[in-house]
Structure 1
């Protein structure tokens, strides 16, 4: 059976390759810092279940130390030349996007086939992990297609992946860390405290007011913590589960899904979501590092209003 550990191993192998390639990249003066950072990421994914909570905590501290003290640098590995890329662009045009489309197509089609045909009864994949498995399978299929079709140098995909991940830097692991932070906040009882406070403020039985507080709470916590995955455990424990679902009988699927979408509206409006909002500005060399955030506010606010209406009318129909 294919389990989640297989996927962790695949991702760990990728980061291990990035670390190894970084060691030999003499064009990057901070190559050893990059190698150590991505090596720790690989170690976490490959051995996380075996080294325990204390060991994983040390790995996180190591990652934070390497990033915080500026040991990471951008790499510029040599893969294909600008002339070769221009030639591919002229020759193939939009067909170059086909390998990228294989990934979502494999995830969608594979999940539907596995869950809605007799194939699922074979038990090849761990329950509720089907989409993850087919997403990784799609990435491998896309990679194989690239090798067969474009025939790049053997390590070119890994070098290009390393170039991109080095450009993103520590922000690449920010969603994972913030999600863990949200779980810690929930375990520490932050959600319960917020629930007690909001319970005294919201008029009892007023569903719409509760929806508003839940949605705006998701937005504000997301803006502070940088990711809706970090905000959701807190707001779900505070308002989503005890009030919207248990007290008022809201549809759990709608409350969870649309609540996350409301949180993502906060993601569009905060520099704390560095991997989404600051890294693109840096990669595009924008004069205003907050330019992406400012441009997204006009989209985020109407989306938030629509999500609030969907949450109210769809969850309590």
Structure 2
């Protein structure tokens, strides 16, 4: 079910009660009922997905179901950079109550589709990376069966495992590609030794485009940016999904599968900016943040900052250069 978020999750320092240039997220966010809200362009809609059943099925470490509210708590403290015509709404959390993952993913999809139909930009806070399949269901429902859809995944893993027994947090993109010939998949951050040869073979068979983690450094960002833009231009629509286990574990210890050779946060930030700048990009999700495994809230805070990057570019905000 979709539950309204406790307003106390959105709390933080208040520098001024009237001067909007002093506002933070917690002062502008609106807790709304998506069913009754009218069309609202220039609006980011936060949707929480409190699921980790996919992680459990994938034999991962549990705790990601606590991430949506934890991420909100860190977002709440960040400065809000936009005028009154740019809105941030929070439609609540899809609360996962049993082992029916597929039903929860469908509900997430319906909620995302509803937000898109109202001209909002969905910002989905997972949850395990099974979040991405619900994300896909919502986008596909909104754009129709005939539109071409590009899926960009920032991830250390392909998530192309077999779903013969049951879907999990490691099967989503195989599910999509084997049943939807109008979708294609580009994953950046792949760990050479984080995926079996069978998974590489599956990726090749399904025509997956991918970039190794070891090639993703500051000196190679121009090529990666060009590759991403070329991929986006080949599709009618795109959505972006971030699995936080792609990050170097020194920066993000609170994930189910930490990556010692993971990406630097500045690289992930650059990719988010590149993808969300495009008008074809409809939505963003962040998954696999695990507050239970975190150290001093480092991963949660980093996840909130990366989410803020997506919101900022979606709403057309100015990203100030650190040297200015």
TM-score of the two chains, using structure 2 as the length reference? 0.29
User: Counting strand residues as a fraction of each chain, which structure ranks higher?
Assistant: 2
Greater relative CO (CA pairs within 8 A, separation 6+)? 2
User: Counting helix residues as a fraction of each chain, which structure ranks higher?
Assistant: 1
**Greater Rg over alpha carbons, structure:** 1
TM-score of the two chains, using structure 1 as the length reference? 0.29
